[in-house]
A and B are shown apart, each in its own frame.
Chain A
Amino acid sequence: MTTPSASARETTEGTVYTVTGGDWDEVVQSAAKADDERIVVNMGPQHPSTHGVLRLILEIDGETVKEARCGIGYLHTGIEKNLEYRTWTQGTTFVTRMDYLTSFYNETAYCLGVEKLLGITDQIPDRATIIRVLLMELNRLSSHLVAIATGGMELGATTIMIYGFRDREMILDLYELITGLRMNHAFIRPGGLAQDLPPGAVDAVREFVKKMTKNLPEYDKLATGNPIFKARMQDVGYLDLTGCMALGATGPILRAAGLAHDLRKTDPYCGYETYEFDVPTADSCDAYGRFLVRLEEMRQSLRIVEQCLDRLEPGPVMVADKKIAWPAQLALGPDGLGNSLDHIKKIMGTSMEALIHHFKLVTEGFRVPPGQTYAAVESPKGELGVHVVSDGGTRPYRVHFRDPSFTNLQAMAAMCEGGQVADVIVAVASIDPVMGGVDR
């Protein structure tokens, strides 16, 4: 590279450049021309800041990303195929492990689809629906907390990660109290719920709401006004409304582009039309806007949780139809959750018909009339849709999940190209893809 302002001469120690000042544009241009160092960088699929087993293939020129592509499929689990070999009820055990940070949404979406096929949508008891909403909103909190925590960690802000996991831990305690498990619950079943809330659950959730209301402003204090945080996030990962619509991006990405599209409002399910909450938006179209939207959504979720608690009234949590409802009241025994001893006594001791019914329903499952349906819920990441097809058998014929992480991740290239390498991490973190959902 030799220009009038940067002459070169050969010495015994190699080429020596003398830069004397001048037009920097010229220097930069000639450097770009002489540059044959357009290199392809492979990030992942095993990389600490790619949000799971995501592979990013970046073509970079210096620090600038010229082209960005995703390689996915490293966590493909074949869940959709596996569902075809299990009964409809067993399906929840699989779907809960798809997007493992939003288990309750996967379960609810799947169950809403199955219930629609069965034609029992109206018969789901109120209590079951309210508990579903309660669990889903708690799940939104925990999912957003992980999004903010890991997103912060990828920026190098370990404190926010510790904060996020601290608060998420409180929600996991609630899950454990209610479903018995910290993750992968399979608690929401076609027809209702696996069991009722345990004693003390309502008080525990109320206690949590109090604590969380106190803790939420800490994220504001720590991050929202933080100049480093803002410098890393603002105007990074830009995707405007046109881009969102074309790429099918939903959830916080779409709302950060200014469109208040939320299925809970526009296509309500589970009685969301009766809850009072706002759909927060931002108009910055960038990673910072998505962060603000997530933060505000957590506040709104707390509002909904409180409304759920006020509405809870005693009642059944499973449809009355004995041909669908799980035949036994579950109870906690010495070896874990199982059929209650009273029920076993009844089917083994007094009622042969009940025993046959129990056996048939548990081993064979119920039949679902032929047809197909699409059920969608607003998961923390966007529109989570389920396409369920039945051929009239006891097992699903085909279940397909339209996972928001999968669709939103397509926007990665649009967000990253032309930016800096370091901003790729921020952009991917602001999409918040969970590879379990992307690859299924």
Chain B
Amino acid sequence: MSETSEPNPDREVGAQNLPGQRGEHGEEIRVQRGMFGADSGGDTSGYGGLTRSVRLPGPASRPYGGYFDEVADELEGALEEQGLVPENAIEKTVVDRGEATFHIAREHLLTVARTLRDDPALRFELCTGVSGVHYPEDKGRELHAVYHLRSITHRRLIRLEVCAPDSDPHVPSLVAVYPTNDWHERETYDFFGLVFDGHPALTRIMMPDDWQGFPQRKDYPLGGIAVEYKGAQIPAPDQRRSYS
């Protein structure tokens, strides 16, 4: 649908089972060593020395293609009208697989969301909630909150992404703009420990109130127990050897 800044060799179907390094494009979130996830004992596979950086698609340049240019233009224009510098609010725009992601600086999230909802040319009326993602090795931007906004008027869908460091896990709440985010933000807080400032009652929703820790973070173990069979036991899924 659209042209990203560089061709993405990962997208070639034939290349996807190659474990090695593929290109320098995009944004590194993690470095992968070895191939089979096992780091105890000697390297019997011969793949132990393999290093590969895991890269998410990087920022795109204009034109983004489709309706994304129109949305970006309108959004930038509307932000300028409110006296904001668009470059400060929108850190970068990623266009990948026919979907546009606007990375928003967290202090401007509320303004951007309100603009997206209210501007007649944008009209993203429906927020489908927030999804947290934890990138423990993406230093300084460990916790991401991802919002999908749908415009019923214009039949469009965009994604907003906000990140916060683990040491200061605060993101402004969108409940004032999209009341539907009430439970979604509580859920993300419950699972990731992201604090949504301005939420009317940010409490745990899924886990019991006295639960310790945030279970869907990457550093929280799956919490399974070994299963005993006749004369043998099988470790929990997160304790098993696995491919990575």
Residues of A whose CB lies within 8 Å of any CB of B are 72-73, 76, 78, 80-82, 84-86, 116-120, 245-250, 259, 261, 266-267, 321, 323, 363-374, 376, 383, 385, 387, 389, 391-395, 397-398, 400, 402, 406-407, 409-410, 439
A366/B129 contact (C-beta < 8 A), A76-B206, A80-B216, A248-B178 known? no
Q: B142 at the A/B interface (Cβ < 8 Å)? A: no
A136 to B182, CA, bound (A): 30
Q: B167 at the A/B interface (Cβ < 8 Å)? A: no
Is the Cβ of A119 less than 8 Å from the Cβ of B129? no
- Which residues of the partner chain B approach A85 to less than 8 Å between Cβ atoms? 222, 237-238, 242
A363 to B240, CA, bound (A): 13
Q: B13 at the A/B interface (Cβ < 8 Å)? A: yes
Residue interface mask B174-212, A partner, CB < 8 A = 1: 000011111110010001000000000000111110000
Q: List 23 A-B contacts (CB under 8 A).
A: A76-B207, A80-B191, A80-B216, A116-B97, A116-B98, A245-B126, A246-B178, A246-B180, A250-B126, A266-B152, A267-B155, A367-B16, A367-B17, A368-B16, A369-B16, A370-B26, A372-B133, A374-B99, A374-B157, A385-B129, A392-B55, A393-B54, A395-B242
- Which residues of the partner chain A approach B57 to less than 8 Å between Cβ atoms? 370-371
Is the Cβ of A402 less than 8 Å from the Cβ of B146? no
Residue of A117, A364, A392, A395 touching B54 (CB-CB under 8 A):
A392
Q: B169 at the A/B interface (Cβ < 8 Å)? A: no
A374 to B127, CA, bound (A): 13
- Which residues of the partner chain A approach B223 to less than 8 Å between Cβ atoms? 78
B151 nearest CB neighbor, chain A only:
A266
Residue of B26, B97, B128 touching A248 (CB-CB under 8 A):
B128
Q: A195: shortest Cβ distance to chain B, in Å? A: 23
Q: B119: shortest Cβ distance to chain A, in Å? A: 16
Q: A318: shortest Cβ distance to chain B, in Å? A: 15
Is the Cβ of B206 less than 8 Å from the Cβ of A323? no
Is the Cβ of B205 less than 8 Å from the Cβ of A72? yes
A247/B180 contact (C-beta < 8 A), A81-B216, A116-B97, A261-B152 known? yes
Is the Cβ of B242 less than 8 Å from the Cβ of A323? no
Which one of B26, B179, B180 has the greatest number of beta carbons of chain A within 10 Å? B180
Is the Cβ of A385 less than 8 Å from the Cβ of B207? no
A321 to B14, CA, bound (A): 9
> Nearest 10 A-B pairs (CB), nearest first?
A248-B180, A400-B131, A369-B10, A73-B206, A85-B237, A76-B206, A364-B243, A387-B131, A246-B179, A402-B128
A402 to B132, CA, bound (A): 12
Q: B30 at the A/B interface (Cβ < 8 Å)? A: yes
- Which residues of the partner chain B approach A246 to less than 8 Å between Cβ atoms? 178-180
- Which residues of the partner chain A approach B183 to less than 8 Å between Cβ atoms? 72, 406-407, 409-410
A370 to B27, CA, bound (A): 10
A259 to B126, CA, bound (A): 13
Is the Cβ of B127 less than 8 Å from the Cβ of A248? yes
Is the Cβ of B131 less than 8 Å from the Cβ of A119? no
A402/B222 contact (C-beta < 8 A), A248-B126, A387-B148 known? no
Is the Cβ of A370 less than 8 Å from the Cβ of B242? no
Is the Cβ of A407 less than 8 Å from the Cβ of B56? no
A263 nearest CB neighbor, chain B only:
B150
Is the Cβ of A119 less than 8 Å from the Cβ of B13? yes
Q: Within B143-177, which residues are at the interface with A (CB < 8 Å)?
A: 146, 148, 150, 152, 155, 157, 159
B178 nearest CB neighbor, chain A only:
A248
- Which residues of the partner chain A approach B11 to less than 8 Å between Cβ atoms? 119, 369
- Which residues of the partner chain A approach B74 to less than 8 Å between Cβ atoms? none
Q: B50: shortest Cβ distance to chain A, in Å? A: 13
Q: A97: shortest Cβ distance to chain B, in Å? A: 16
- Which residues of the partner chain A approach B96 to less than 8 Å between Cβ atoms? 371-372
- Which residues of the partner chain B approach A371 to less than 8 Å between Cβ atoms? 56-57, 96-97
- Which residues of the partner chain B approach A395 to less than 8 Å between Cβ atoms? 242, 244
Q: B125 at the A/B interface (Cβ < 8 Å)? A: yes
Is the Cβ of A82 less than 8 Å from the Cβ of B10? no
Query: Apart from A119-B13, A395-B242, A407-B183, what 5 extra A-B contacts exist at CB < 8 Å?
Result: A78-B215, A266-B155, A372-B56, A387-B148, A395-B244
A120/B13 contact (C-beta < 8 A), A248-B129, A387-B148 known? yes
Q: B84 at the A/B interface (Cβ < 8 Å)? A: no
Residue of B10, B125, B148, B191 touching A370 (CB-CB under 8 A):
B10
Q: B29 at the A/B interface (Cβ < 8 Å)? A: yes
Q: Within B202-235, which residues are at the interface with A (CB < 8 Å)?
A: 204-208, 215-216, 222-223
B238 nearest CB neighbor, chain A only:
A85
B26 nearest CB neighbor, chain A only:
A370
- Which residues of the partner chain B approach A374 to less than 8 Å between Cβ atoms? 99, 128, 148, 157, 159
B159 nearest CB neighbor, chain A only:
A374
Residue of A73, A84, A249 touching B207 (CB-CB under 8 A):
A73
A266 to B157, CA, bound (A): 11
A391/B29 contact (C-beta < 8 A), A86-B237, A370-B10 known? yes
A299 to B187, CA, bound (A): 36
Is the Cβ of B17 less than 8 Å from the Cβ of A402? no
Is the Cβ of A370 less than 8 Å from the Cβ of B128? no
A376 to B129, CA, bound (A): 13
A366/B17 contact (C-beta < 8 A), A117-B97, A248-B127, A267-B157 known? yes
A91 to B244, CA, bound (A): 16
Residue of A82, A249, A321, A385 touching B13 (CB-CB under 8 A):
A321
- Which residues of the partner chain B approach A116 to less than 8 Å between Cβ atoms? 97-98
- Which residues of the partner chain A approach B157 to less than 8 Å between Cβ atoms? 267, 374, 376
Is the Cβ of A391 less than 8 Å from the Cβ of B129? no
Residue of B129, B178, B222 touching A81 (CB-CB under 8 A):
B222
Which one of B14, B52, B206, B208 has the greatest number of beta carbons of chain A within 10 Å? B206
- Which residues of the partner chain B approach A119 to less than 8 Å between Cβ atoms? 11, 13, 97
A117 to B13, CA, bound (A): 11
Is the Cβ of A323 less than 8 Å from the Cβ of B13? yes
Is the Cβ of B55 less than 8 Å from the Cβ of A370? yes
Residue interface mask B13-56, A partner, CB < 8 A = 1: 11011000000001001101000000000000000000010111
